[in-house]
Amino acid sequence: MDGLLLDWYGRTARDLPWRHTRDPYAILVSEVMLQQTQVDRVVPRWIAWLERWPTPADLAAASPADVIRAWQGLGYNRRGLSLHRAAQQIAADGWPADLTDLPGVGPYTAAAVRNFALGEDVLPIDVNVERIQERSGHRFGSACGQALMDLGATVCLARVPRCELCPLAQGCPSRGQRYEPARKQSRFEGSFRQRRSAALRLVAEQPRALAELDAEAVAALEKDALVRVCDGIVSLPE
């Protein structure tokens, strides 16, 4: 199956900018940005981020406030701060042998950097890759990493896979099956996440009096080190 998949990928691969680099920092930025964020939203933000902070040392020298402002719109702002702390660690001590020692880097992200940047023989397994392997009953080699990402994103979809377009369909035991969603995505509209986002957006514009803001949302943001509260004024961390 690996050969069929790689042949398909050679014809249909998405032209994503982080696929044109082997820089581990650039790959790390892309992987952190892509967590729960759509690819088309990430592309321009990734380009702008690397233009502003092209190396870990550049990002490490930035203030947390600048990082938070630059991350606005990508969601889950703690990821931006974790990336900032990871850059500080890399700038100070170099890349660790175990990439999961970096703040915010779990097994999948570590494997993605090791494969896509360092060329190591390890397959990054996210929900898309896991789904394809379960449905096909096949364990793919590390060379199939990017191809599996594309197949899971465009063909082997979670609920209604497009089997008629799949290069693996002929030998796939799950061909033609339909699936219930694994879990419902919680609504953003009206959620506490939206309240946090709204409060952070206001503070990112300028410091605000706590009395003007959603106090519960501010408390949660302060707990995550995304804002600081001093003498009744809420501001970004500097």
144 within a domain of the structure (yes/no):
no
Please give the full DSSP string across 21-85, using - where no structure is assigned.
---HHHHHHHHHHHTTS-HHHHHHHHHHHHHH--SHHHHHTS-HHHHHHHHTTSS-THHHHHHHH
**DSSP per residue, 101-134:** GSTT--HHHHHHHHHHTT--S-----HHHHHHHH
Ranges of residues in the chain whose predicted pLDDT is under 50: none
pLDDT at 190: 75
130 is catalytic: no
Task: Answer yes or no: is 139 within a domain.
Answer: no
Q: Which of 31, 120, 164, 212 is catalytic?
A: 31
Task: Indicate the number of domains in the chain.
Answer: 2
| pLDDT recorded at residue 238 | 86
Which of the listed residues 116, 143, 170 is the one where a domain comes to its end?
Answer: 116
Q: Is 44 inside any structural domain?
A: yes
Q: What is the mean pLDDT of the chain?
A: 94
**At which of 74, 92, 116 does a domain end?**
116
Q: Which of 59, 94, 116 is the last residue of a domain?
A: 116
pTM of the model: 0.89
Q: For residue 202, give its domain range.
A: 192-235
Classify residue 18: in a domain, yes or no: no
- Residue 89 belongs to a domain: yes
Asked whether residue 111 falls in the same domain as residue 196, the answer is no
38 part of a folded domain: yes
